[in-house]
Amino acid sequence: MSSTVDELVAQLRDGGSRVTTARRLVLTALVKGADHPTAEELLVAVRALAPDVHPSTVYRNLEELERLGVVVHTHLGHGAATYHLATEAHGHLVCEVCGATIEAPEDLFEAMADGAKRRLGFELRPYHFAVLGVCAECAAAAQTD
Write phi, then psi, for 123 (nearest 5 degrees). Answer: -95, 110
Closest to DNA by CB, 64 vs 116, is 64
Burial of 123 (0-12, 13-18, 19+ CB in 10 A): exposed
Question: Cβ of residue 118: shortest distance to DNA, in angstroms?
Answer: 34
Nearest Cα neighbor of 116 from 108, 105, 124 is: 124
- 3-class DSSP assignment, residue 145: coil
Closest to a second copy by CB, 12 vs 91, is 91
Which parts of this chain interact with DNA (CB under 7 A)? 13, 17-23, 38-40, 50, 52-57, 59-61, 63-64, 79-81
- 3-class DSSP assignment, residue 105: coil
Task: Indicate which of DNA, a second copy, none lies near residue 20 (CB less than 5 to 8 Å, by partner kind).
Answer: DNA
Task: Indicate which of a second copy, DNA, none lies near residue 64 (CB less than 5 to 8 Å, by partner kind).
Answer: DNA
